[in-house]
Amino acid sequence: MQLIALLLMVSCNSSDHRSYNLEDLPPQVIDDAAVSEIDKTLSGFVEAGDIAGVSALVYEKGEEVYFNAFGYADRENQIPMDRNTIVKIYSMTKPVTGVALMTLWEQERFELDDSIGMYIPELADMKVYTGVDRNGSIMVEPANRPITVRDLTRHTAGFLNNDKVPGLSELLQQANIRSIENTLSQLAEELAKVPLWFHPGQQWEYGLCVDMQALLVERISGQAFDKYLRANVLDPLNMTQTRYYVPEADRDRFAAAYFRSGNGKLDRTPDQEAHRFNYNQWPLKPGGYGLTATIDDYMRFTRMLVNKGTLDGSTILQPETIELMSANQLSDSVKQRSFLAGKGEVGFGIDFAVRLRPPASKDENFGVVGEYFWDGAASTLFWVDPLNELAAVLFVQLRPYDQIGLHKSFRRAVYSSYISINN
């Protein structure tokens, strides 16, 4: 399997990669040289002042093969980054929500091609934006088909997440979409007031789809989303440190949030601003963001995926469901894919990006064909490499999202015993 992974990973541009003889291949991805390379890479970002602190954890074939942490979770108070550090995982919440939803799919409580109007009638009869008239008023037409559950899981529902669409963006801003005072049901009511940007299935547009997945979980299960998530995913995986609300007793372990300005200076975002959502119990329990975790907690989730749905005797999903989630769900007809194209040669499964082809050039992040992954707004990252039975999690708290090449460098370091870049 490792040989296949190498061959799939190496780009067709031979000038970018060294050729390997089969007898030269290392027996595993993370060997002593790779450990050294990861250490050097991550510590280098801290020493350069690009990040305050970072931690990384890698499992291969069921064993921990790498952990280290560099720098500070709280630079101003000299609190080191650690295994116990709590971070905001932002959109790495989304795959967790997707897993919760698919537990109900396994119970045959819904089908992926069901109209979401069966469960969320607020969104049953959506209109689609067609432009503005000479008076600046929005023009609409009926959607050519209902939004399906599958649309929610692959971000093709049509919900707008853009501030540059004449008339429609203003309407989105007027709606109370982002209020954390709303419940998920109230969020759906507000969302129903805004026409879709495109017909369901036509484009890939990131945004509110996973919050509506969380509402599906509520409507189908009859339980509040956070309670269902706790009972059916987090507690069975012993993810006790993964939660929306961080109690005061644990806040000394909560990593500070840093913003890197254009000149490279790191500024700390005040804690009350950065952690406002997680310092309070709000009505909204979003599916798309909001969870905090320790690196070991999130690795338990990732290891469950590597193990095709089971970890330490707890089965969350069946192997066939994991395979479905990690298979590309986007047809070639979906040409407009927002920022997904910047992720490389990927499609999108059920709440994961899925690598379809080897990297097209040395500028693209490394990855093995068949891997699936996602990341978070504060530059956190995870991926699952099924071919090598490898899972990697990277924790950092840096905004804007990775503008320093951290993810690319970390991936290159993890696979450094397999490939070598000619700089």
The predicted structure's pLDDT at residue 379: 98
Residue 312 pLDDT grade (very low, low, confident, very high; cuts 50, 70, 90)? very high
pLDDT of residue 2 exceeding 60:
no
Instruction: Please tell me whether the overall predicted TM-score, pTM, comes out greater than 0.85 for this model.
Output: yes
From the list 374, 408, 411, the residue with the least C-alpha distance to 90 is: 374
pLDDT of residue 421 exceeding 50:
no
Tell me the mean pLDDT in the region 91-97.
98
Backbone φ and ψ of 248, nearest 5°: -55, -35
The predicted structure's pLDDT at residue 12: 36
User: Distance (Å, rounded) from C-alpha 203 to C-alpha 151?
Assistant: 10
The predicted structure's pLDDT at residue 257: 98
- Alpha-helical (H) ranges within 353-392 are none
Which percentage of the chain shows pLDDT scores above 90?
Answer: 87
User: Distance (Å, rounded) from C-alpha 371 to C-alpha 60?
Assistant: 14
Structure tokens at 152: 């929610």
* Amino acid type, 342: G
Mean pLDDT of the chain: 93
The predicted structure's pLDDT at residue 369: 94
Q: Indicate the SS3 state at residue 73.
A: strand
Structure tokens at 150: 């599958």
Q: Which of 21-30, 283-292, 361-370 has the lowest mean pLDDT?
A: 21-30
Contact 396, 54 (CB under 8 A): yes
Tell me the mean pLDDT in the region 245-267.
96
Tell me the mean pLDDT in the region 75-85.
98
The predicted structure's pLDDT at residue 190: 95
pLDDT of residue 121 exceeding 80:
yes
The predicted structure's pLDDT at residue 247: 98
The predicted structure's pLDDT at residue 26: 63
User: Distance (Å, rounded) from C-alpha 81 to C-alpha 265?
Assistant: 19
Contact 317, 106 (CB under 8 A): yes
User: Distance (Å, rounded) from C-alpha 6 to C-alpha 23?
Assistant: 13
Contact 117, 123 (CB under 8 A): yes
Question: What angle, rounded to 10 degrees, do the helices at 184-191 and 209-221 form?
Answer: 130
Contact 95, 339 (CB under 8 A): no
Tell me the mean pLDDT in the region 244-270.
96
Question: Token pair 């942490």 is at which residue?
Answer: 69
Question: Token pair 């020493």 is at which residue?
Answer: 47
The alpha carbon dihedral of 365, 367, 370, 374 has a sign of negative
The predicted structure's pLDDT at residue 420: 55
The separation between the first and the last C-alpha atoms of the chain, rounded to the nearest angstrom, is 28
Summarised one tens digit per residue, pLDDT across range 378-400 is 999 999 999 999 999 999 999 99
Q: Give all domains of the chain, ordered by start, each with its CATH number.
A: 2-102+226-414 (3.40.710.10), 109-222 (no CATH)
Residue 89 pLDDT grade (very low, low, confident, very high; cuts 50, 70, 90)? very high
The predicted structure's pLDDT at residue 318: 98
The alpha carbon dihedral of 373, 407, 155, 104 has a sign of positive
pLDDT of residue 401 exceeding 70:
yes
Residues 6+ away with beta carbon under 8 Å from 351: 94, 95, 97, 98, 99, 153, 210, 213, 325, 374
The predicted structure's pLDDT at residue 25: 52
The predicted structure's pLDDT at residue 127: 98
Kind and range of the H or E run holding 269:
strand 266-269
Tell me the mean pLDDT in the region 53-79.
98
Contact 99, 298 (CB under 8 A): no
From the list 422, 413, 421, 419, the residue with the least C-alpha distance to 39 is: 413
The predicted structure's pLDDT at residue 117: 98
